[in-house]
Chain A
Amino acid sequence: MSKNGPLALAYHALFVGFMLAPILVVCWVAFTPEGFLSFPTDRWSLRWFYAIARYPEFVSAFWRSLGLGALSSAIAVAFSVPAALAIARYRFPGREAMTALFMSPLMIPHVVLGIAFLRFFTEIGLGGTFAGLVLAHIVIVLPFALRLTLASAVGLDRAIEHAAVSLGASEWVVLKRITLPLVLPGLVSGWALAFINSFDEVTMTVFIAAPGTETLPVRMFLYIQDNIDPLVTSVSACVIGVTVAALVVLDRAYGLEKLLVGRSGDGR
């Protein structure tokens, strides 16, 4: 490992500071006793954390976001497996077009998708429903799920499946006992990235969520339009706390690098 010079060190320190400062400031402000966003604050209070309890719609929006992320990511991953295997293995007419289509939500601005989905869902009677949210989120997280599933499907040695076939395994057994376990790290990583993107999404969701189906980011966004009190900072601090706890648990149990890079756990 080469040593960093003083200039590089200063650069790295600034960079890390720039990344972390907003998060730290939000957490700090969350502990203010004042009725407005005051920073720096010299007195401490848990007042705004207790205040969350008076807004049950924040709590229900949090659970809805979790459920929406988990469900839409799971469906996107389930859809990605056959798509990734087909794209990785076969050359067929329309293969490039299919890949481009699945990846296209990355290229389209979410505000455009939001307006389009709003019109479309209203038209077919899904306006403001949870089912509509799930459908829209499947579309936007699909590229993330597919990318990582594809990466592990491409790396799969077909001879391994041939070996299983030669030993008498049916196609279904090969899929269940060989192919799926081998692409599993990619599936898990794809699901995690998809979940993060779904949980985070506000630009598109704000168009299609209705009262009663708001996600947490949408609820926070709407709240700060009308209020200047630090409630959203305490909510943010809670989300950050949950995220950090989840990352620590995942790192211990599975390894963060493996999770986010999609590398196979058995060192292939």
Chain B
Amino acid sequence: MAFLVLENLSKTFGTHKAVDGLSVSVEKGEFVALLGPSGCGKTTTLQMIAGFVEPTSGAIRLEGRDLLAVKPAERGLGIVFQSYALFPHMTVAENVVFGLEMQGVAAAERTKRVAETLELVGLAAFAARFPRQMSGGQQQRVALARALVIRPQILLLDEPLSNLDAKLREEMQIELRQIQRTVGTTTILVTHDQAEAMALSDRIVVMNQGRAEQIGPPHEAYERPATPFVANFLGKTNLVNGATVRPEKISFGVSGLAGKVRTRIFQGNHWLYQVDTAAGLVTVIRQNTGEAMPAEGADVHLAWQAAS
């Protein structure tokens, strides 16, 4: 039996169906991302698991037990909030130890576990700082340490990296993944960033209007999108003669669909082309190998493998 089961879960606010019959099974130790645009119901789903929002109908089971019957304070979940939600009047160590105090862990054990967890997130030297004295990335790690130190059954991450700048976000993605693999905690990530979902998770739940459009490994969802919505949401696509083609699957050849390069943009590791063809405007992404590429205005032929 799956570790965490969401069964036909729904939440209605007034007449608006925020979550509409969502069913997901999560295995122990798995990293699952709820991915979708804002308003797709992913945050509401997370809040129902956390216990801050009560479902209109449906069930949530953790190891077969009914989680909805358990008070939020007793669910034993670690949550990292988008705003980090650190306790501003407490030091880093006080923030992290809070959950252990609530669990009634003995003082010596508390000290040891706080030190271990701060070590894990690379903040051992910052225990006495206040959150306001730290950068966004560091606060993020404190929030992670505070959630992990209680050894939660499930780690819930609510848009955890969206307040960080692009470079830091990438670093934190790698770090977050390593930490999750190290501690092995079952993790549910809520995000609107498809790159983040694909980088971090074992499986993605692509959500739209309260429903799951597709559930599967990132690679599979990207290569074989179940619906046009999934195809569009997981990166760029071209719709050519009724078939969807990823821009990086198209190459310039001597034969194939004829067209003229409208714009060419250099992006370091790749080139981004917009090509006018009889089938409409086609986006092409070619890896930068250092070789000469067709210029703007050049006549080209586009070729690709038939979609699987």
Residues of A bordering B, CB below 8 Å:
157, 159-160, 162-170, 173, 177-178, 181-182, 264, 266-268
Say yes or no: B79 contacts A168, CB within 8 Å.
Answer: no
Taken residue by residue from 75 to 92, chain B's Cβ proximity to chain A (1 for < 8 Å, 0 otherwise) reads as: 111110111011111000
**Is residue B137 contacting chain A, with contact meaning CB distance below 8 A?**
no
Residues of chain B within 8 A of A264, CB atoms compared? 88
Q: 13 A-B residue contacts at CB 8 Å?
A: A159-B83, A162-B85, A163-B79, A163-B87, A164-B87, A164-B98, A165-B72, A166-B50, A166-B77, A167-B146, A168-B150, A266-B130, A268-B132
Query: Size of chain B's interface in residues, with CB distance under 8 A?
Result: 28
- Least CB distance, A134 to chain B, in whole angstroms: 32
Residues of B bordering A, CB below 8 Å:
50-52, 72-79, 81-83, 85-89, 98-99, 102-103, 130, 132, 146-147, 150
| 8 tightest Cβ-Cβ pairs between the two chains A and B | A168-B102, A167-B99, A159-B85, A163-B85, A159-B81, A166-B79, A160-B85, A267-B132
Say yes or no: A162 contacts B52, CB within 8 Å.
Answer: yes
A268 to B132, CA, bound (A): 7
Q: Known interface pairs A169-B102, A173-B102, A266-B88. Does A163 touch B146 (Cβ–Cβ under 8 Å)?
A: yes
Residues of chain B within 8 A of A168, CB atoms compared? 73-74, 76, 99, 102-103, 150
Say yes or no: A167 contacts B50, CB within 8 Å.
Answer: no
Say yes or no: A162 contacts B50, CB within 8 Å.
Answer: yes
Q: Which of B75, B89, B102 contacts A182 (CB 8 A)?
A: B89
Q: Which of B50, B72, B77, B88 contacts A268 (CB 8 A)?
A: B88
- Least CB distance, A148 to chain B, in whole angstroms: 18
Residues of chain A within 8 A of B99, CB atoms compared? 167-168
- Least CB distance, A127 to chain B, in whole angstroms: 45
Residues of chain A within 8 A of B89, CB atoms compared? 181-182, 266
Q: Known interface pairs A159-B81, A159-B83, A266-B88. Does A166 touch B72 (Cβ–Cβ under 8 Å)?
A: yes
If A166-B73, A168-B150, A264-B88 are given as contacts, then 15 extra A-B residue pairs at C-beta distance below 8 Å, sorted by A number, are A159-B81, A159-B85, A162-B79, A162-B81, A163-B86, A163-B87, A164-B87, A167-B98, A168-B74, A168-B99, A169-B73, A173-B102, A178-B87, A266-B88, A268-B132
Say yes or no: B85 contacts A157, CB within 8 Å.
Answer: yes
Residues of chain B within 8 A of A159, CB atoms compared? 81-83, 85
A264 to B88, CA, bound (A): 10
A155 to B79, CA, bound (A): 22
- Least CB distance, B214 to chain A, in whole angstroms: 29
A164 to B52, CA, bound (A): 12
Residues of chain B within 8 A of A182, CB atoms compared? 88-89
Taking CB as reference atom, which chain A residue is nearest B75? A166
A252 to B86, CA, bound (A): 28
Residues of chain A within 8 A of B77, CB atoms compared? 166
Say yes or no: B73 contacts A170, CB within 8 Å.
Answer: yes
Residues of chain A within 8 A of B102, CB atoms compared? 167-169, 173
Max chain B Cβ within 10 angstroms of own Cβ: one of A160, A162, A166: A166
A159 to B43, CA, bound (A): 13
Q: Which of A157, A177, A266 contacts B83 (CB 8 A)?
A: A157
Q: Which of B73, B78, B87, B132 contacts A165 (CB 8 A)?
A: B73
A173 to B50, CA, bound (A): 18
- Least CB distance, B62 to chain A, in whole angstroms: 14
A266 to B69, CA, bound (A): 38
Taking CB as reference atom, which chain B residue is nearest A163? B85
Max chain B Cβ within 10 angstroms of own Cβ: one of A165, A173, A177, A181: A165
Residues of chain A within 8 A of B146, CB atoms compared? 163, 167
- Least CB distance, B250 to chain A, in whole angstroms: 44
A34 to B114, CA, bound (A): 72
- Least CB distance, B196 to chain A, in whole angstroms: 20
A165 to B47, CA, bound (A): 12
- Least CB distance, A234 to chain B, in whole angstroms: 44
Taking CB as reference atom, which chain A residue is nearest B133? A267
- Least CB distance, A187 to chain B, in whole angstroms: 13
Residues of chain B within 8 A of A167, CB atoms compared? 98-99, 102, 146, 150
